[in-house]
Amino acid sequence: MLDPSNLLRYEVIRPIAFLVIFVLAWGIFFFNFGKLLRYVLVGRYERRWDNIPKRIFTVIKDAFAQYQPMRYLTSGIKHFFFFWGFMIISLETLEGWIELVIPHFRLPIINTTFRPAFLLAEDIVQFLVLVAIGWSIVQRFVLRIKRLENTLDAIIILFLIFIIATTSLVGKAGALLLEGETFAFSPFAKVFGAMMVGYGLTENQIYIIREIALWGHSLTVLFFLNYLPFSKHIHILTSIPNILFRRVEGTKCNVEPLDIGKLERGEIEYYGVRKIEDFTWKQLFDFISCTECGRCSDLCPASITQKPLSPMHLVHKLKDRLKEDGPKVIKGIQERELLVDGKKITEDEIWDCTTCAACEEICPVGIEHPRFIMDMRRYLVFDQKIPATAGKTLQKVMNQGNPWGLSPENRDEFAKSIGLRILSPGEKADFIYWVGCAGYFDPLGQKITKSMKKIFEAAGLDIPVLGSAEKCTGDPARRLGEEGLFAMIAQENIAILKDMGVKKILTHCPHCYHTLKNDYKQYGGEFEVIHHTVFIKELIQTGKIKVEKIRDGTAAYHDSCYLGRYNSIYDEPRFILKSTFDGEIKEVLRHRERGMCCGAGGGKMWYEEERGKRINYTRFEEFEEISANTIATACPYCMIMLDDATKYKGLEEKVKVKDISQLVEEAIK
């Protein structure tokens, strides 16, 4: 038996001791977490308070329903258990903290007729948290999943979560025994209760075990809380706010337009990101919200092909720089190394990005990787640190109005040769066909244009083109980070289109499509832009063109990043493929939202891929694995890159890469 005087002394000391520890622990936590938030606030202002209903819905979907984590099913289920385990255990923890001050306290919210249901939910969740810990250990140390790094931090966190869940079950078992409650709603706590009874423990011994568990649980949670500001698991606190403030309008990689006037007037010294405070506060908040789950790097084409860029590691490096430079910014210390210093962060990492946005698409906490990479790339261009071939491409765009560097008159010659009607000077048109540079100058791209002309004829349509009046949309300039050139091109093209009375634009190039539809809005260009897959699908559905299926082995569709992830066009090209192809249609390993880039995005069409394995060869291997002899595309860049891969593999006679429009032309009755 416990000495009554000792028990009384303990019950007097217990609340005082706990309150001292509690206040001290929370004080230290707020100090350290507050420092992180102060570092975040050195970033530039960015408005992220719009469209509150949509933001709340996104939090419900991606945080509480765990939609994003569930896209990696086994890891998603595990994370679902962790998330809801913490949510429910938090109520028990709060109750335990108060009980250490007020004996036998029960939260009113759970001490009702719903208490049995809560006890059962709590018990099941605590057990599932232990299962999730076990699965995490298997993933890391048995399966050795590449994207999961076995750091000391990860091991410490798993150990702390194990202690929190176990002490919760043990403490609950002791409380139920002491209070004479049934274990009917606590089947897993019953295991520990049965052990206590089986060992013949007395009531006093059970009381001591329960107190040890209660203190152990409470102190571990407080230690865990204070460990978070120094751990990747700070995302436990920052992920929900980061999801709340994620982009809900516009498109991925929605970089800010450049105010050229400010640069010319000397109001700004440079554009792009040179120092940590050049990022916005939301971008800095992204860095401290990273879970280091590795999903971004798992889908990154640069990372897959053994290049220096790993989105996860880049975010981690930027978080380290924030912690290093944040205090200096606050103190006004200007002498600091550039972000891209060639040591921790290299130029190669920034130039390896294809802006495919697979990283942003899969991120469970809403980090917008392509945007901050593009902001860093912009400064490299401003500082004239650009790959030589990319620089030459920009010169061609500026001088000849296209990245091929060919004469604008070639557009007229080609258009006339296939019978496309060119708008005369001063002629107005509400609806035009924007052919794009590849469609005019590249031999493979020209095949798409010819097929589109045949489709127009079959549908009885006469859609004019601009010919030599059409210039590059500026997509290569924007993706390569030369925002000044892009702004100039965009404003010139917008003026031309408005002067011609154009309201509706058809194009077969996803890069032209995205630029005309989304990027031009930043410079006052509001047009209805239609991709040819959407246009052709409507022609088939309305019966304006009649097609018959052609049997030709096995076909698979390659998702263009700027058509799919950027503009959510996935079903239309697949509908067309099914309408025109009578053979077997398969999906490659990475498709739709997880589709792998062909390697041409982010301006990489225009400079050599010098590091690692070529992305287009790696992508082509996925089509080889399913024995596809027809690869359908909906982008001239993708078509060029995958066709190049067939030649590298010596399979150009066996595997045909065709645009969706070519398949339709062949299938027209």
List the structure tokens of 18. 């706990």
CA atoms within 13 A on the CB side of 440: 31
How far apart, in Å, are the Cα atoms of 229 and each of 68, 154, 163, 238, 609?
Answer: 24, 14, 20, 10, 39
Q: What is the pLDDT of residues 106-118, one digit of tens each?
A: 777 666 677 778 7
List the structure tokens of 511. 């890069």
Ranges 232-236, 383-387, 389-393, 651-655: which has the least confidence: 232-236
> How far is the C-alpha of 81 from the C-alpha of 172, rounded, in Å?
19
Per-residue pLDDT at 81: 81
> What DSSP character marks residue 558?
P
Q: For the chain, how are helix, strand and coil distributed in percent, rounded to 5?
A: 60, 5, 35
List the structure tokens of 431. 């609806």
Crossing angle for the helix pair 4-40 and 281-289, to the nearest 10 degrees = 140
Cβ atoms within 10 Å, residue 255: 22
Higher pLDDT pick, 258 / 285 = 285
Per-residue pLDDT at 247: 86
Judged on CB neighbours under 10 Å (0-12, 13-18, 19+), 13 is exposed
Average pLDDT over the chain, rounded to an integer: 90
Per-residue pLDDT at 553: 87
Here the contacts of 187-193 (C-beta below 8 Å, separation 24 or greater) are 187/123, 188/123, 188/124, 188/126, 188/127, 189/123, 189/126
**What is the rounded average pLDDT of the residues 170-181?**
82
- Find the helix or strand (DSSP H, E) in which 449 lies: helix 443-459
Q: What is the pLDDT of residues 412-443, one digit of tens each?
A: 999 999 999 999 888 999 999 999 999 999 99
If you write DSSP's letter for every residue of 266-295 in order, what string do you get? Answer: TSSS-SS--SGGGSBHHHHHHHHH-----H
Per-residue pLDDT at 112: 67
- Which 3 state secondary structure label does DSSP give 635? coil
Portion of the chain with pLDDT greater than 70, in percent: 98
Per-residue pLDDT at 51: 85
> How far is the C-alpha of 367 from the C-alpha of 362, rounded, in Å?
9
List the structure tokens of 124. 């099941």
Using the structure block, give the residue that is written with the tokens 């152990």: 216
- Which 3 state secondary structure label does DSSP give 422? strand
List the structure tokens of 52. 């509150």
User: What totals of helices (H) and strands (E) does the chain contain, helices first?
Assistant: 28, 7
Cβ atoms within 10 Å, residue 625: 11
> How far is the C-alpha of 135 from the C-alpha of 73, rounded, in Å?
13
The model's confidence at residue 1, banded by pLDDT at 50, 70 and 90, is very low
Q: What's the distance, CA 123 to chain centroid?
A: 34
Per-residue pLDDT at 101: 87
List the structure tokens of 187. 């089947």
List the structure tokens of 394. 């920009």
Contacts of 659 (CB under 8 A, 6+ apart): 447, 448, 451, 508, 632, 633, 634, 636, 639
Q: What is the pLDDT of residues 469-525, one digit of tens each?
A: 999 999 999 999 999 899 999 999 999 999 999 999 999 999 999 999 999 999 999
Radius of gyration of the CA atoms of the chain, in A: 30
473, 502 in Cβ contact below 8 A? no
Ranges 11-25, 136-150, 331-345: which has the least confidence: 136-150
**What is the rounded average pLDDT of the residues 27-39?**
95
> How far is the C-alpha of 79 from the C-alpha of 68, rounded, in Å?
11
**What is the rounded average pLDDT of the residues 80-88?**
82
- Which 3 state secondary structure label does DSSP give 146? coil
301, 66 in Cβ contact below 8 A? no
> What DSSP character marks residue 404?
T
Per-residue pLDDT at 544: 95
Judged on CB neighbours under 10 Å (0-12, 13-18, 19+), 154 is middle
First-to-last C-alpha distance (Å) of the chain: 95
Q: What is the pLDDT of residues 180-212, one digit of tens each?
A: 777 778 888 888 888 888 888 888 888 888 889
In 3D space, the residue among 451, 453, 510, 419 whose CA is nearest the CA of residue 667 turns out to be: 451
In 3D space, the residue among 363, 365, 369 whose CA is nearest the CA of residue 302 turns out to be: 369
> How far is the C-alpha of 501 from the C-alpha of 427, rounded, in Å?
9
Using the structure block, give the residue that is written with the tokens 């066009």: 569
Per-residue pLDDT at 111: 66
State yes or no: pLDDT of 316 exceeds 70: yes
State yes or no: pLDDT of 386 exceeds 60: yes
The model's confidence at residue 406, banded by pLDDT at 50, 70 and 90, is very high
The model's confidence at residue 258, banded by pLDDT at 50, 70 and 90, is confident
* Alpha-helical regions (H) of 41-100: 52-59, 73-99
If you write DSSP's letter for every residue of 435-448 in order, what string do you get? Answer: --HHHHHSHHHHHH
Using the structure block, give the residue that is written with the tokens 């409507």: 538
Judged by phi (left if over 0) then psi (alpha if -120 to 50, else beta), residue 402 lies in beta
**What is the rounded average pLDDT of the residues 298-313?**
94
Per-residue pLDDT at 336: 83
State yes or no: pLDDT of 294 exceeds 70: yes
In 3D space, the residue among 121, 153, 593 whose CA is nearest the CA of residue 357 turns out to be: 593
Q: What is the pLDDT of residues 114-149, one digit of tens each?
A: 777 877 888 888 888 888 888 888 888 887 777 777
Best mean pLDDT range from 80-89, 571-580, 598-607: 571-580
667, 547 in Cβ contact below 8 A? yes
> How far is the C-alpha of 635 from the C-alpha of 439, rounded, in Å?
10
Backbone φ and ψ for 602, nearest 5 degrees, come out as: 65, 25
596, 619 in Cβ contact below 8 A? yes
Q: What's the distance, CA 229 to chain centroid?
A: 23
The model's confidence at residue 3, banded by pLDDT at 50, 70 and 90, is low
